[in-house]
Amino acid sequence: MLKKDYVALTPPMGWNSWDCYGPAITEADLLGNAEYMDKFLKEYGWKYIINDIQWSEPMAGTKGWDYNAFAELTLDEYGRQIPAVNRFPSAKGGAGFKPIADKIHAMGLKYVYLL
């Protein structure tokens, strides 16, 4: 038997970049949607901004929503994916997603990026 204190009253509520932009999301698009959520949806429980896959591929989304076969990814010196700076300019100089996360967290929202 489920007890009311062990069940969420609402599911986690958020926005996922894939649903609107597929692989073509940019920093401006991401922050624009976060600002909208902050202004119009946060008071109703919306709190997650999810930057979905392919953010390390500079050409993602330029040929539709399919994956670009054998695409060159943006990697650090250890082979880890880092944001493509042509799409996420605040990531330059090794900053990664911290500048974006800081802006989203300042709005009182949560930021998640997926590989």
Which pLDDT tens digit goes with each residue over 21-76? Answer: 999 999 999 999 999 999 999 999 999 999 999 999 999 999 888 888 899 999 99
pLDDT of residue 114: 94
pLDDT > 70? residue 2: no
Q: What is the pTM of this model?
A: 0.89
**CA angle centred on 64, ends 63 and 68, rounded to 5°:** 55
Distance, in Å, from the CA atom of 82 to the CA atom of 88, rounded to the nearest integer, reads 10
Nearest CA among 113, 80, 74 for reference residue 97: 113
Quick one: pLDDT at residue 64? Answer: 86
